[in-house]
Amino acid sequence: MANQRVRTLRERAYRAGRIASTFGRIYLGIKLNQVLARRLGKREMERRWQRFNRRSAESVFRTAIELRGLILKACQFIGSRPDVLPAEYIDVLSQLQDRVPPVSHAEIRKVVEEELGAPLENAFSYFSEESIASASLAQVHEARLHDGSRVAVKVQYPEIAELVRSDLSNLEALFRAVGFVERDFDLMPLVEELGQHLPRELDFFNEGMNAERVSKFIEHRDDLLIPRVHWPLTTTRVLV
């Protein structure tokens, strides 16, 4: 247990440092460019901003892929907002929508078995080793039940809930520091919104109930389908 706490503290410290260094370099680069803008011509400055924005976006992309969790979720969101970020960021960060590398089958198996309290084979006659989709908080595997039913199994990444809480704390500290220096730049509402909504996304049992509610709303439609939830195999971290 003590080793686990030490590992968790090290992980949190590393993530905090990674987040701070990534966004710190971008902030300093922005301030430098603002100074240079007073001396350089408009066209040259535009080219400089484009190069800087792309390098910065690629740096954020690498950090999001490495850390996953809240950072990846936030980058997926802002990567779909051309009204918020320059085009270079949108071009790079939009790739996070469908290019998230999956975690290993061994890690996914461990989560499923912990949640179900039994070996994977007790619940499924087949469980694909490769995921069919992976995102910021979870990934999906094709599987088959012992009665022959073909199902999709959404599995939360190991320790993702703790990492999300840690990232929220790190972002809050970072954004408070930015707000102290840049009085007209308040990012705290973003942290507050993420803190309000993300816990719901980490509760797959709640997601299953929402799916059933939506299914009732559209039951008169023959062009839409909500897959049935298999409740005996569904928990807060596994949705079948």
Backbone angles phi and psi of 159, in degrees to 5:
60, 20
79-88, 117-126, 152-161: segment of lowest average pLDDT? 79-88
Token pair in block for residue 76? 């997926």
Single-letter residue type at 211: A
Q: Where are the alpha helices (DSSP H) in 37-99?
A: 42-67, 69-78, 87-93
- Across 48-69, b (16+ Cβ under 10 Å) vs e yields ebeebbbebbebbbebbbebbb
The per-residue pLDDT for range 130-152, each reduced to its tens digit, is 999 888 889 999 999 999 999 99
The per-residue pLDDT for range 202-240, each reduced to its tens digit, is 899 999 999 999 999 998 998 998 899 999 999 999 999
The per-residue pLDDT for range 112-122, each reduced to its tens digit, is 999 999 999 99
Asked whether the CA dihedral 57, 69, 15, 74 is positive or negative, the reply is positive
Distance of CA 219 to the CA centre of its chain: 31
CA distance 94 to 111: 29
Single-letter residue type at 201: E
Q: Which of 50, 71, 73, 235 is nearest to 153 (CA)?
A: 235
Distance of CA 143 to the CA centre of its chain: 24
Q: Do the beta carbons of residue 93 and residue 76 sit within 8 Å?
A: yes
The per-residue pLDDT for range 164-215, each reduced to its tens digit, is 877 787 777 777 776 676 666 666 777 777 777 777 888 999 999 999 999 9
Q: Do the beta carbons of residue 117 and residue 203 sit within 8 Å?
A: no
In which element (H, E) is residue 162 found?
helix 160-181
**159 Ramachandran zone, left/alpha/beta (phi>0; psi -120 to 50):** left
The whole-chain average pLDDT of the chain stands at 86
CA distance 73 to 76: 5
**148 Ramachandran zone, left/alpha/beta (phi>0; psi -120 to 50):** left
pLDDT value, residue 162: 79
pTM over the 0.85 mark: no
- Across 24-39, b (16+ Cβ under 10 Å) vs e yields eebbeeeeeeeeeeee
